[in-house]
Amino acid sequence: MASLTSPAPAAPRLAPVDEPVEQGNSLWHDAWLRLRKNKLATFGLVSLSVIAFACLLGPLLSPYGYEEQNLDLGASAPSRAHWLGTDTLGRDLLVRLLFGGRISLAVGLAATFVALTIGVVYGAVAGFFGGKLDALMMRSVDIMYSMPFPIFVILLMVLFGRNIILLFVAIGAVEWLTMARIVRGQVMSIKKMEFIEAARSLGLGRRRIIFRHILPNMLGPIIVYTTLTIPGVMLLEAFLSFLGLGVQPPMSSWGVLIKDGAEKMEEFPWLLIFPGTVFSLTLFSLNFLGDGLRDALDVRSSKD
Amino acid sequence: MLRFITSRFLQSLLALFLVITATFFMVRFVPGGPFTAEKAVTPEILRNLEAHYGLDKPLWRQYLDYLSSLARGDLGPSFKYPNRTVNEIIFDKVPVSAELGSISLAVALVLGIGLGTLAAIRRNTWVDYVASSFGMIGISIPTFVVGPLLVLALAIHLGWFNASGWYGPADRVLPALVLGIAYAAPISRLTRGGLLEVLNQDFIRTARAKGASEFRVVTRHALRGGLLPVVSFLGPAVAGILTGSFVIETIFQIPGIGREFVNSAFNRDYTLVLGTVILYAVLIMALNLAVDIAQAWMNPKVRLES
């Protein structure tokens, strides 16, 4: 983290840090130290890492495949052979849970990345150029804010088949609006600062100013908001899967597993309880981590 | 102020028009029509059906026809429920969702603002920790996990409630609780954050110095500014609550508009899909407008800027 050195005209901090700063400590190093002091955020980071590693490696180590059925066995309670039990088709729940985790996390990351890219570019352009272009662009964002997007996403998924790529795009296209607003606000305030004026008077081009001087100074809010977008995106994916519109069996995602579990919970409660717990724990960790990052990077919670 | 409201209103109208147009064409460009699922429809019957509903006309003609009947408040006939109009179906289903929504909204506001205020005035005590954890837990555990778990515990094991259905007053408790808690959690966090910011300001110190009781300081002086973030959150939230979350209506098998919407999309019931989308859009836009006005009223800074 500390190796992230700022470009030539030293980038000022987003906000002054009160504690005496040891020599050589960058903003990122300070933030890291503050984050580590926050117990809940640390817990979030650790549990997320554990879950992510388990999802990546677990299915490789397991003797069972995620779609491997054992109809003779059927639904069985947790046992030594199947740690979290099996579903009605005799498929190992642990493997399906880990495998579903891959999908859920992948959707969360990919859709957030789509939202991040659109939002940052859009917001930066609007904020940097200002004037009529900015007014037009932000008015459009206002208009899009007032549209019933979750409904559009449902419609898209119903009408165009349940395509996982479409799922990324649809969710990402919904979630970029707030990011655009945040980035625009940041750009507007940063571009008025003296070091930008200095850069301009040195004759630097627009592109260089945007990418080398403005963007690095907005990383704090962008990272924080991205961390907080991921749980929202994962929730949307699970919500769609729960309605039967997201990921399709025999593939699994946490939303699919929770849906199946809810249907069979009367006889086989573990099918609901385990996926529900893991999913909630993940969202919990992401929210804690995002909150902790916000404090550590000293980002104001307001939108602009 | 009037200019501000007028420009926002016109903006909403434009957005509404875009929503209607986009939905109209999106639904039509999809493979499969409302009658393709029906078993063994002879070509003649299909042609008759299409002629009956005007589906044989060119698309732009259908679009104009739809807009002109919409202007008269007529959402057209349903394709899947013979002899029923979309207006009838909506009037049939909306009261259910609205009832569920109103109860849930009350739960969300009372619980959310109450806990958030408690947490803010007892900052960094156990009261704050309990209330804040509730907020975090409520945000992180989705309704489609809480709902089934509560059904499992309270309905199936303890037998206090029916697991699903929408008949007696007792059937309102679980759905309203699940939906209410889902919105109470963010409201409590926003209330706490907003209040903490306001409680540090000079006018609060002035109020205290005048000798106003702590209760009066909080309720009369701090909450007005402290609830601003809550108010802007309420716009989209109320729309979501009142129309009944799709998930809640699915879990508890409540015959509301949310479930009808999902079904209508599956059935390719063009007019019903459009009708529900328009309903949601109008509701969301009206609420956003209301939020803007409420914010201007509550916050002199916003009021003067516009």
**Series of mean pLDDT values for 10-residue runs along chain B (306 residues):** 79 84 80 62 73 75 83 78 81 85 90 88 82 84 85 80 75 85 88 82 81 78 79 78 76 83 80 85 83 75 56
Average pLDDT over residues A216-238: 83
User: What is residue B110's predicted lDDT score, i.e. its pLDDT?
Assistant: 92
Q: Please, which residues have CB within 8 angstroms of residue A170's CB and are 6 or more apart in sequence? A: A152, A153, A156, A157
pTM: 0.78
**Residues of A within an 8 Å Cβ radius of B:** 139, 142-148, 150-152, 154-156, 158-160, 231, 235, 238-239, 242-243, 255, 258-259, 261-262, 265-266, 269, 272-273, 276, 279-280, 283-284, 287-288, 301
Q: Minimal Cα–Cα distance from B279 to chain A, Å? A: 10
Please list the residues that pair with A76 across neighbouring strands. Answer: A86
User: What is residue A74's predicted lDDT score, i.e. its pLDDT?
Assistant: 66
Measure Cα distances from B113 to B129, B192, B290 in Å. Answer: 16, 8, 20
For residue range B229-278, what is the model confidence (pLDDT) as tens digits? 788 788 778 877 776 577 888 888 888 888 888 888 777 787 888 888 88
Find the radius of gyration of the CA atoms of chain B: 24
Which one, of A52, A85, A60, A90, lies nearest residue A72 by Cα? A90
**Tokens 């909204």 correspond to what residue?**
B105
Which one, of B82, B69, B90, lies nearest residue B24 by Cα? B69
ipTM of predicted assembly, 2 dp:
0.75
User: What is residue B301's predicted lDDT score, i.e. its pLDDT?
Assistant: 64
What token pair was written down for A165?
């790529």
Alpha carbons A235 and B266: distance in angstroms, whole number: 22
Chain A residue closest in CA terms to B250: A243
* Contact across the interface for A284 and B281, Cβ inside 8 Å: no
* Contact across the interface for B250 and A273, Cβ inside 8 Å: no
**Which residues of chain B make contact with A230, given a CB cutoff of 8 A?**
none
What token pair was written down for A260?
């199946």
Alpha carbons B298 and B306: distance in angstroms, whole number: 14
User: What is residue B218's predicted lDDT score, i.e. its pLDDT?
Assistant: 79
**Which residues of chain A make contact with B26, given a CB cutoff of 8 A?**
155-156, 159
Q: Minimal Cα–Cα distance from B137 to chain A, Å? A: 7
User: What is the percent of chain A with per-residue pLDDT over 70, rounded to a whole number?
Assistant: 81
C-alpha torsion B100→B101→B104→B109, nearest 10: -160
Query: Which residue stretches of A76-193 are H helix?
Result: 93-129, 131-145, 149-159, 164-190
Q: Minimal Cα–Cα distance from A176 to chain B, Å? A: 17
User: What is residue A75's predicted lDDT score, i.e. its pLDDT?
Assistant: 66
Indicate the pLDDT class of residue A6, thresholds 50, 70 and 90. Answer: very low
Chain A residue closest in CA terms to B7: A139
Amino acid symbol at B254: I
Residue B41 exposed, middle or buried by CB count within 10 Å (0-12, 13-18, 19+): middle
Alpha carbons A112 and A226: distance in angstroms, whole number: 7
* Contact across the interface for B149 and A242, Cβ inside 8 Å: no
Residue A155 exposed, middle or buried by CB count within 10 Å (0-12, 13-18, 19+): buried
User: What is residue A73's predicted lDDT score, i.e. its pLDDT?
Assistant: 67
Which one, of B278, B286, B276, lies nearest residue B89 by Cα? B276
User: What is residue B172's predicted lDDT score, i.e. its pLDDT?
Assistant: 81
In b/e form, how buried is each residue of A217-246, taking b as 16+ CB within 10 angstroms?
Answer: bbbbbbbbbbbbbbbbbbbbbbbbbbbbbb
Average pLDDT over residues A93-104: 84
Indicate the pLDDT class of residue A157, thresholds 50, 70 and 90. Answer: confident
Asked if the model's pLDDT at residue A1 lies above 50, the reply is no
Asked if the model's pLDDT at residue A16 lies above 80, the reply is no
* Contact across the interface for A258 and B145, Cβ inside 8 Å: yes
Asked if the model's pLDDT at residue A54 lies above 60, the reply is yes
Alpha carbons B80 and B263: distance in angstroms, whole number: 10
**Which residues of chain A make contact with B15, given a CB cutoff of 8 A?**
143-144, 146-147
What secondary structure letter does DSSP report for B219?
A: I
User: What is residue B266's predicted lDDT score, i.e. its pLDDT?
Assistant: 78
Q: Minimal Cα–Cα distance from A84 to chain B, Å? A: 18
- Give chain A's mean pLDDT: 77
Alpha carbons B34 and B198: distance in angstroms, whole number: 55
User: What is the percent of chain A with per-residue pLDDT over 90, rounded to a whole number?
Assistant: 1
What counts of helices (H) and strands (E) characterise chain A?
A: 11, 0
**Tokens 């054992």 correspond to what residue?**
A70
Q: Please, which residues have CB within 8 angstroms of residue A266's CB and are 6 or more apart in sequence? A: B152, B156
Alpha carbons A144 and A177: distance in angstroms, whole number: 8
Q: Please, which residues have CB within 8 angstroms of residue B4's CB and are 6 or more apart in sequence? A: B292, B296, B306
Alpha carbons B93 and B99: distance in angstroms, whole number: 10
